[in-house]
Each structure stands twice: as C-alpha cells, then as structure tokens.
Structure 1
C-alpha cells in the first residue's frame, strides 16, 4: 500500500514538474519584461529578437507596391462569443465565427483582440486602437486581418463587447446574443499585404498579414473603457528588412 502511495506521489510530482517545464516566462509591455526584453525572458522567445520578418511594421504607402491582389473573401457568421481578459488584452473567442478566403485559401476565424495604440503604423502614424482578427487554415498556418479604429462615433458592434469586458485577468464573460465579426469591418475592404509574425511572444513568423486601409470609428468613451484596463499594449514597429508591402488596387 505504501509503495502504491509512493508511486502515486512520484507520478504527481513528475506531472507537476512537466507542467512547469511547459510554461513560459511572464512578459508585458512595460518595465523589465517589456518588448525590448522578450527574447531574454525565455529561450522560446528567441525569434522576437532573431527573426527577420517580424510584426508589426510601419507601412509607407508611397513605397507599397500596387498590385492586382485578390479581394479578401469575408464569410463571417454569427457565433457564440466569449469575452476574455487574458492579462495582455481583451480577446473575443468565436468558435463558429466563419471564414475568410485569402489568395484562394480558406482560413477559419478563431478570435479577435485589441491593441492600443494600433501596433501597425501608416506613414508613421498609429491609430488609437486596432482589432486583430486571427485565422488558421487546415495546415495550421495563421492569417491576421487588422482593422484600424479612429476616434469618432460610438461603434455599435463593439458596444456589447466593451460592456462585457472582464476587469480581472483570467475572467470570462459570454455574450448572450453571440457576435458576428462582419460588423467590425469597414465598407471598403482594400488592404495592405505582407508576411510577418505574431506580435506577442513567441513572435512566430510566416504569418500572413492583411491590414485594411479604411479605418472604422470608435468613441472616446469606448476607447477610455479599454484603456482603463490596458493603457498601452502595443509592440513597437519592427524593421521591414528584405520584405515588400503590397497594396490592393
């Protein structure tokens, strides 16, 4: 009996150790764990420093190559929605949020989340807020569509999301009526295209990026509500290096 208990205790200890080994170091946007130090915090974050195709970037419109790019085929759908405070931002999980078609490839919408100010800049200018719509295809590759927000009228689509924002890290809230991500999109779907990375650790590369040219509006009160939780959660822009940016016509 004692031997069995010893085995159980040993197994539990090993499982606990394994779980700890799989965790990654805490990171943030300020102080000693900010973006300048991410690569020093965990060996799994090395790409944040060593990667040559990192995001976000500053998009210089006069240098973006105009091209006959395929339109983004948005096929979003009303979905159950869970609003999560993950300790770095407010994220909305959409288990049945629909798809987009990018260059003829279908990508499933997983979630969208916010950064303030916008991580990507246009001609050196950051917008007050950006939503990153994160998608994955059948091969596990990621595509992010960025929707920029300028200050203006209240954003009706975001009203239920911001009303449900949990104030504490780890808290979640379900949206009773679900959410249709199509409501976040501007009428004009023209975009800038480039290949980049995740903008948070581990900064994995080979992410397809589409930054919509036309911003939508968000009110000062909505912006203040988000900033009350996250005053600044944007990674600085990264070098373009050997990449080019294309602009849809």
Structure 2
C-alpha cells in the first residue's frame, strides 16, 4: 500500500510536469510569434491550447444558480520560495495547506498572479487576479481564483512585492505568508470546468472563482506589470459548459 506522503509526492511531480508556470523556459509568450494563438504549434504537448473544448479563462456570465458545496480552507502561514519565471511571479508551497470541497481534498502547490485578470465576472475585468493552484495526491487539479480591485495597499501582498525577484531568479520567502489575509470575507464562488491558462493548457481543472474581490494599491499592481508585463490569456469559448454560481 502506498503511503499518503508518497501519493502527495506523486501528485506534486504530476503537477510540476503539467504547469508551465513552474518552467523557466521562454519558448512561449503572451504576444507575437509565440503568443497564445500559436501556443499549440510550439509543442505537440500544447495541442489543447488551440484545439481543446474546455479551456480557460472565461467570461463568467449566464450563470446557473445552485446550492454549492462549501469551500473548507485549511491554510497556515508558510511558503517556501518566490519564483519569477518570466511569465509570472509565484510563491511555491510545501504540503500541509488544503482546499476541501465535498469529498475532494486538494493540496496547495503554488500561487501566482495575472494582470489584468484572466477570467471576467459578468464581463467585468479586474486589474489583477491571483490563482492558487492545488492538486490531489493523484494529480487532479483545482484553482482558487481571487480578483483584486484598486484600493488601499495590501499589507500581506507587500510581503511578496517588497522582495520581487527578477526574471529567472528565485529566492527564499522572508518570513511566512498568511494566505488567509489574501482572501475576502465571503467565500461564495463561481464554479466551472476548465484548463490551465498557460501551456500545455491541460484540461480537467476545477475552477473556483470567488465572487468578492480584495484590494491592492494601484502602485502594487503597476509594479507587477512593469516587471512581468500583461500576462493574461485571451478569453476562451464556453462551448457546451455550464457555469454555476
């Protein structure tokens, strides 16, 4: 019988092999000859980027009301390192922080940022979006997405922003990041089935987009954009999917 720790390791390896944001390669980009419309031609592994039927992000509209399962979050102050891979800035995590939805338990692997937001809510775009990427021990993926609106300086975000690495660099996180301070007071969410928003655009990802945004200052979001550039994938087709709120 495989121990739980071994399963978590397998899940982490699976996740790292799927999420391109963990790859420092610059073979793809958000514009030009290697931009989103060309991602599938850059590698055979990227076929879903232009030929998949359940791609992200989406304009979250025409939603269906439903009784949603509660999100049960078990997050503790932590974080291993900050990585700038040229596509985003992400904070990597060891195991121990979980998102529970019904019978499914997802381990937090990393969080990262996009400016402007990738998903839209009722056609509204936000200046920044944070993706908290999770995986089950078997490698099933889930993203908890939080929108940022312009407001006061975000003190917890500043713990990352005050030590932003340059492209290709990684560094240990100074102190611990308290994720609970990067969450809104309400965990009401919109759910849909989608994909990773970066190559290889793997499908089968459960998306939980929180309805309530949090605040960050205009200066904080500008600093990120100056470092990374705009890193939002264009909206994808809904096709036959249902969006639940």
With the length of structure 1 as denominator, give the TM-score of the two structures: 0.86
In structure 2, the gaps of 5 or more residues are 1-23
CA displacement, residues 169-228 of structure 1 (integer Å, 9 cap, x when unaligned): 221122221212222100000000000000000000000000000000010110111011
Contact 1:79 1:96 in 2 (8 A): no
Match of 2:27 in 1: 26
Distance 1:141 1:84, change over 3 A: same
Which deviates more, 173-182 or 158-167? Answer: 173-182
Q: Secondary structure at the match of 1:125?
A: coil
Matched, 1:193 2:191: yes
Q: How many residues align?
A: 222
- Deviation digits for residues 72-123 of structure 1 (CA, Å, limit 9, x no counterpart): 1011111243111011000011114510102321100010000000000112
User: In the alignment, what sits opposite 2:8?
Assistant: none
SS of alignment partner, residue 99 of structure 2: strand
Q: Equivalents in 1 of 2:63, 2:72: separation in Å?
A: 22
CA distance in 2, matches of 1:71, 1:223: 30
**CA distance in 1: counterparts of 2:130 and 2:26, whole angstroms:** 25
1:226 and 2:227 are equivalent in the alignment = no
2:140 and 2:79 map into 1 onto residues whose CA distance is 24
Q: For 1:1-249, list aligned pairs within 5 A.
A: 26-60=27-61, 63-96=62-95, 98-167=97-166, 169-247=167-245
Unaligned 5+ runs, structure 1: 1-22
For residues 80 and 179 of structure 2, what CA distance do their matches in structure 1 show? 10
**Residue in 2 aligned with 1:20?**
none
Q: Secondary structure at the match of 1:177?
A: coil
Tell me which residue corresponds to 1:17: none
The answer to whether the 8 Å contact 1:80/1:96 transfers is no
Larger radius of gyration: 1
Q: Aligned to 2:65, what secondary structure does the other structure show?
A: strand
RMSD: 1.4
Structure having the larger proportion of residues in strand: 1
Distance apart, 1:24 and its partner CA:
7.7
Give a deviation string over 1:8-48, Cα, whole Å, max 9, x none: xxxxxxxxxxxxxxx98810001110001101111111110
CA distance in 1, matches of 2:127, 2:37: 22
